[in-house]
Structure 1
Amino acid sequence: MARFLAERDETARELMDDPHCDPVTLARTYARFGLVNAVVSGQRGLYRRWIRPRLAPRRTTRVLDIGTGGADLPRRLLGWARRDRLPLAVVAIDPDPRAIAFARGRGPVPGLELVQADSRAIADRGDRFDVVVSNHVLHHLDETARAALLADSERLVVQGGAAVHGDIERSPAAYAAFAALTWPFQSTLLRDTFIREDGLTSIRRSTTAAELAGMLPEGWRVRRTFPSHLEAVWTPR
């Protein structure tokens, strides 16, 4: 397996990225993402390290979630902020109309704005945020799209804020762990979803820490987080 994962497989394609994939399976995948991401994405750590310290009682902190999918991340962030009794607003964007339609179909959440757009459109309209985040987006992007996302992120962050793009760290251990942990749920929780197959494809498409560091512009840095995750981080100087 080490040889199998020795190099990033940029040719692998996730089933849910197919614009013609089965819409029922896609919707079921979005619905289950919240449970899976709660375990594998380090969302609580993102809140504690990057968002909670920027919350204040007398001002509303603003977060932009890029590539939100079914919007499970912003819903969690808003829930944690409510429990901390601190004001937070999240603009969650995705260029895929299927994702935004699903997220809107789950009903409104106070503080959550869902927009079908990419990062360039939000930056061009002059919007700015305390924290700009994405979760498992970088490995989907080619070199041009990744560079555009990072450049847009720098435009979108206010002084004192941060851009934090979280993604998987490719390794045999990560691949084996995800395969083993999802295997028992193939016929139950993950049945008729893209999650297991696309998750394994995602690991093949993802980077190591050294590879990601080599892709980042000056001023960005890489942090390792648990479990088997990386963060591409930029803070204004």
Structure 2
Amino acid sequence: MSGLDARDDELRELMDDPECDPVRLRRTLERFGLVNRLVSGWGAVYRRRIRPLAIARGEISVLDIGCGGGDVLRRLVALARRDGIAVRAVGIDPDERSLAVARRGIRHDDQGGGRGATPAIELRRAHSSDLVAEQGAGGGAFDLVISSHVLHHLTAAELPAFLADSAALSRGLVLHSDISRSRAAYAAYAIGITPLAPGSFLRTDGLRSIRRSWRPDELAARLPPGWRVERPAPFRLLATFEVSP
């Protein structure tokens, strides 16, 4: 695992191939929900960072950039609803294949009905730059802007524009969650993902994601002023930015 000493941003994930097996891709996106619940730390992030913001504002609008299969956005919306908080949620992704899985997940939740059901979430095929262009100079459109497992997909040259877009779209808080590269994370994932991996890209792409991901000190060195890196859970990092009132 000597390759973990340096970030490998030349490595490509199988699911990013437009010609990849669609069944394996769908299974991968669908199983992300369980993987994220187990390792991503979003539950703790919601309790410590998102719920206080939502309570202070009385409601919350959320943008998920690169929402993938939509599981993180659906979970955060459900948690807010459980706490009696009104939510307006938008998920964007440039990949229509991911959005198709996200739409099915939303329909499944809606069919459950009752207090825990996820309300309508708007999904759009778009990049963050598209929303910035639509917004113009009018200021942030969302109380909270998030992403999950997007940072490791970005090259060092792409990172500044992504951070600038997310800050421009927020009028409150920005939270970008990702893996923190380490040998321990690599070894733990290689073993732990085994039961969920068959018939999907979870094992191969997950290990490649770790090799592409940033260490906290590496990411912190590249963040603009006002940004910081937090450690919300083992093997995780969180790039945060708070918009000045």
Does TM-score exceed 0.5, indicating one fold? yes
Which structure 2 residues correspond to residues 1-237 of structure 1 after superposition, within 5 A? 1=1, 3-56=2-55, 59-106=58-105, 107=107, 109-126=118-135, 128-158=141-171, 161-183=172-194, 185=195, 189-237=196-244
Contact map agreement 1:128 1:156 (CA 8 A) in 2: yes
Deviation at 1:120, TM superposition (A): 1.1
What letter is aligned with 2:29? Y
Cα distance between partner residues in 1 of 2:45 and 2:69: 18
**Deviations 1:165-203 (CA, angstroms, capped at 9, x unpaired):** 1111101111111112123x1xxx321100111111000
Q: Which residue of 1 aligns with 2:113?
A: none
The 8 Å contact of residues 162 and 236 in structure 1, kept in 2 or not, is answered as: yes
In the TM superposition, what whole-angstrom CA distance separates every residue of 1:111-150 from its partner, at most 9, and x where no partner exists?
A: 4111111111112222611111001100001233221110
Give distance in 2, aligned partners of 1:139 and 1:57: 32
Q: TM-score, normalised by structure 2?
A: 0.89
Over 4 Å off, 4+ runs: none
* SS of 2:158 mapped into structure 1: helix
One-letter amino acid matched to 1:38: R
- Do the aligned residues in 2 keep the contact of 1:168 with 1:230 (CA within 8 Å)? yes
What residue ranges of structure 2 are gaps of 5+ in the alignment?
111-117
**In 2: Cα distance, 1:66 partner to 1:35 partner:** 20
Aligned partner of 1:32: which letter? Answer: R
Query: Once the two structures are superposed, what CA deviation does each residue of 1:19-39 show, in whole Å capped at 9, x if it has no partner?
Result: 110111111111111011111
In 2, are the aligned partners of 1:67 and 1:135 still within 8 Å (CA)? yes
1:68 partner SS: coil
SS of alignment partner, residue 159 of structure 2? helix
Inter-partner Cα distance in structure 2 for 1:50 and 1:63: 13
The separation in 2 between residues aligned to 1:62 and 1:50, in whole angstroms, is 14
Q: CA RMSD in A?
A: 1.6
Mean Cα displacement is larger for which, 56-65 or 167-176? 56-65
User: SS at the partner of 1:143?
Assistant: coil
1:136–1:58 distance in 2 versus 1, CA, 3 Å:
closer
Percentage identity across aligned positions? 50
TM-score w.r.t. structure 1 length? 0.92
CA distance in 1, matches of 2:25, 2:57: 40
Query: What is the CA–CA distance in structure 2 between the aligned matches of 1:30 and 1:174, rounded to whole Å?
Result: 21
Q: Is the 8 A contact 2:45 2:232 kept in 1?
A: no
Distance in 2 separating the partners of 1:74 and 1:123:
20
Q: Paired residues, what number? A: 230
SS in 2 for 1:131: strand
